[in-house]
Every structure is written in C-alpha cells, then in structure tokens.
Amino acid sequence: MTQISTEQLIKEWQVLLESTPKSIYHCAQQLAQQHAPQLAESFYKHMLEDPHAAQFLSNEQVQERLSGSMQNWIITLFSLTADEDLRPVIAQQKHIGDVHARIDIPVHLVLRGARVLKETVARLLNGHAEQAECLIFTSALIDMAMEVMSQAYSASNDKNSRAEESYRLFSIAQNSAHEKDRQRAALLDWENQVMFDIAMGLQFNQLSTLAASEFGLWFRHKGSHAFEGADETGLISASIDQIDTVILPMFKLAQQQPEQHQQLLRSLHEQARSIAYHLDTLFAQVNELESGRDVLTHLLNRKFLPVVLSKEINYARQHKRHFCILVIDVDNFKNINDSHGHEVGDIVLQQLAVLLSNGCRSGDYVFRQGGEEFLMLLVDITAEKAAKVAEKLRLLIEKEEFRLPHGLVLKITISIGLAQYSGHPDPQKLVNRADDALYMAKGQGRNRIIVAD
C-alpha cells in the first residue's frame, strides 16, 4: 500500500477548509459543542453491538474513558478552520489508527461507526438553515480522518503481522533440542510427582494439575503459539484437558475400587506418553534457526514484545486470568561504563540476563528492552505474587558478585516497576504503567520495587 505523506494530507485538508464558508465552520462547531455526547453514544452503541468489539469494550469503559475521548475527538475535528495547524490533528488520527491495530479492532467496524456518526449528524441537522452544506463539510472531515486512520492501521497491522510470524519462527527455533529435553523432563517430573501423591493418598483437590505444572505453563503460553496450526498441538491440548478434567477427578471416586484405580493410573500414563510422543513429533519438524535474539544477551528481542503482550492479553481475556510485567533497570549503570568501560558493562548485562532467565518459570518471558533495561512477563500470576517474585530477584541481584576480568568484582542493584494486566486492550498502556512505576522506584532512591496503581 502506497503511503500518503503528511505534507500531501495537509494540502488536501487545507483545500477543504479554505473552500468552506465561515458560517459552515460555526455550524459544525455549534453541532459538536451541543451534541458531542449524543454523537459519541451513537458511535459506541454500534461498536458494542458487534460481538468481536464487545470482547474488549465494556459499557463501563465506554462511560469512563472512551466516550470522553470520542467527544473530544468530535469537538476537535468539527472545530477545524483554515487557520489551524493541521500537523497535530493528522498525527492524532495516525495515533488512533495505530491503537486500533494494536488492540485488534477491525478497521471495517471503525468505518461502520463513522457511517453511523454521519447518519446521526444528518438527523441532528434536520431543519437547520444550512443543513446540506454543513452535512457535506462534517462528512468530509470524518471521511478524511478515517482515511488517515485506515492508512496508519494498515501500516501498523502489516508490521504486527511480520513480527508475529517472525516471533513464531523464533519460538520454534530457539535451541530446540535443549527445549525439547527440558519440556520432556518437566512432563516426566509432573507425572512422577502426581503418581507419588496418588500413592500417598492425597485428595483430588491436593493434586497438581498438568496445566498448572512447569510443562503446562510452557505449552499454554509458548508451545501452543510456536506450533500453532499443527495437528499435534491440538492433540496435546486435548490430552492435558483429559488428564485434568476427567482422569484426575475420577481418582476421588476410585479410592475404594482397586481395579478402577489401576485402570486410571494406566490411563494417566498413556496420556502422558501420548503428549511426549506428539511433543517429539513437533520438535522433529523444526530446523535450528538463530534469529530474533538480542545479540549481547540472547534474550528475546524487544520487537517481539507487542506480539507476546497481545497474545497474553487475548489469553487473559478469554480465560479470565491475570499476568504481570516487570520493567527492570540496572541502577547507576552509566557509572559502570564510565569507570570500567563498555566491555565490563556488557559482561555485567550478560550475567544479569542469565540470572533473570533462571529466576523465572518456563512459561514466563524475558526481554532485553535496550541498554540496561529488561522486561519480564510473568504468566498466570497476580500482582501480589509477582511482587514476591520481583523482591526475590531484587535480593538475588543485590547479593550477587559479578565477576569480571582481571579479578574485578562488582555489586549492582536493580529497580523494578510492576504492573498487572487490568483489562485494557492496548498492550502499550500496560507497559506505560510499569514504566511509570519504575520511574517512581528510581525517584524514591533506587534498589526497590514499585507496584503500579
């Protein structure tokens, strides 16, 4: 798709505004000032009637945030004159298009909403002395804004799609032989533990489910995405569900029936073997592909963060789960580079990356954001529990001795901003909250954790 430059957009908007009489300006401005709430309500009523949009737009959100933003957008757009600086206005439309792409609002829904908006404008202008001219002007403004939004949406969506596919390939390819062995071991550990717990007479509600195990977390949040579309992925999901919702609950009923008890143990073992077999098949399809890593630390590249966040937001929304992100920054890192050189700084970051990776679970993610800043995404966890994980990491780093060439030993500390997913569909909002919390941690003396909100 050919992108229209900002300068060309300004010229087109300028032509419309310069050819419009001042009386029509006043008509549009008066309409917006008097009826902005009604116009906004008509737009979002249409959006909420769509099942896809209704997944992430609640009435409460509309009333508290989105309706006010929509009213401001209408007033700003309908108040434009030929003397206006159009750059901020066009930049706003591009930003809105980017946000719509990030939260996956289909562009056709927005365009339908614009059509409903124009129909509402026509009803409100009915009987006005300059009804036709004002309707033509406001409709043109809406159409031009939608054009800029759609262009930005398309560019952002293409970028996200490329990142999605690149991340999928990376997820499959990153050290696949090691990952396969690690997950097979995790699956076996769970099976041995649950068999032991059953033999010891633990009740059903005391048994650890496979979905909540190290293997289960990895598969639900990484493996199923990396191998999306493969038949084996669906078979593994079905086996996990069979174990957790059918086989394990039946042990409660089979305690006094030895034959049924033995049959259930065999079924459990067969399902675990089936999962292991399908897992081997998936990894056998993979070729080693070193791509998408941060060159220095070999952590996930920051370009994958929007993809992973969007995936986790969709999962949390569908399954009513929580997740948290930690934004982590090395305190006074500039002093290390200034005093010891960038080579020493790089070695510190490499060792820190290893500590962060070892300090999380299989289903969690660790990114290098750039410089001395890292981001951890902790799946299936509340802010309260995530704060304990963060504090454990903070203490670990504080106590760690970073051993460097020539016998040099350094001690460092980290500051952490923590934010729990709050239901907002835009992943950037979550990152911004964690960034703000990190900024507060820095301002309050460093070497501490601040939880957003």
Q: What is the CATH number of the domain that holds 416?
A: 3.30.70.270
Does 289 reside within a domain?
no
- The CATH number linked to 152 is 1.10.490.10
Residues 161 and 181 occupy one common structural domain: no
Q: Where a domain ends, among 140, 165, 190?
A: 165
Residues 139 and 187 occupy one common structural domain: no
Does 295 reside within a domain?
no
Spatial distance between the Cα atoms of 269 and 278, rounded to a whole number of angstroms: 14
Does 320 reside within a domain?
yes
Spatial distance between the Cα atoms of 268 and 54, rounded to a whole number of angstroms: 39
Residues 215 and 181 occupy one common structural domain: yes
Q: Where a domain ends, among 104, 132, 165?
A: 165
Residue 290: per-residue pLDDT: 43
Residue 165: per-residue pLDDT: 59
Residue 3: per-residue pLDDT: 60
Residue 56: per-residue pLDDT: 60
- Give how far Cα 327 sits from Cα of 186, 202, 334, 395, 452, Å: 28, 39, 18, 16, 11
| Tokens (6 digits) for 40 | 């906004």
For 362-379, the pLDDT digits (tens) are 889 999 998 999 999 999
Spatial distance between the Cα atoms of 313 and 427, rounded to a whole number of angstroms: 8
Q: What is the DSSP string of 181-240?
A: HHHHHHHHHHHHHHHHHHHTT--GGGSPPSTTSHHHHHIIIIIHHHTTT-HHHHHHHHHH
- Sheet with 324-330, side-by-side order of all strands: 300-301, 365-370, 373-378, 324-330, 414-420, 449-451
Does 76 reside within a domain?
yes
Does 220 reside within a domain?
yes
Q: Where a domain ends, among 165, 188, 207?
A: 165
For 92-102, the pLDDT digits (tens) are 999 888 888 77
Coil, strand, or helix at residue 415? strand
Residues 44 and 151 occupy one common structural domain: yes
Residues 361 and 397 occupy one common structural domain: yes
Residue 147 structural domain: 6-165
Kindly state the percentage of the chain with pLDDT values over 70: 90
Long-range Cβ pairs for the range 103-110 (8 Å, 24+): 103/56, 103/425, 103/426, 103/427, 104/310, 104/425, 105/53, 106/52, 106/53, 107/149, 107/150, 107/153, 107/154, 109/47, 109/50, 109/52, 109/53, 110/146, 110/149, 110/150, 110/153
Give the count of beta carbons closer than 10 Å to the beta carbon of residue 229.
7
User: What residue type is 4 in one-letter code?
Assistant: I
| Tokens (6 digits) for 428 | 């950037």
Residues 430 and 361 occupy one common structural domain: yes
For 157-202, the pLDDT digits (tens) are 766 666 665 666 566 555 676 788 889 999 999 999 999 988 888 8
Residue 288: per-residue pLDDT: 36
Residues 342 and 365 occupy one common structural domain: yes
Residues 181 and 267 occupy one common structural domain: yes
Residues 384 and 263 occupy one common structural domain: no
Profile the chain (453 residues) by mean pLDDT over runs of 10 residues. Answer: 75 92 92 92 78 65 72 92 90 88 79 90 91 93 92 76 64 68 92 90 85 93 83 92 92 73 91 93 62 76 86 90 97 92 91 92 91 96 96 95 88 97 90 96 96 91
Does 408 reside within a domain?
yes
Residues 26 and 146 occupy one common structural domain: yes
What total number of domains does the chain contain? 3
Residue 324: per-residue pLDDT: 98
Kind of pairing, strands 449-451 and 414-420?
parallel
Nearest to 58 by CA among 349, 425, 310: 425
Does 411 reside within a domain?
yes
Residues 73 and 32 occupy one common structural domain: yes
Residues 144 and 188 occupy one common structural domain: no
Tokens 């209704």 -> residue: 54
Q: Is there a contact between 53 and 104 (Cβ–Cβ < 8 Å)?
A: no
Does 290 reside within a domain?
no
Phi, psi of 408 (to 5 degrees): -70, 135
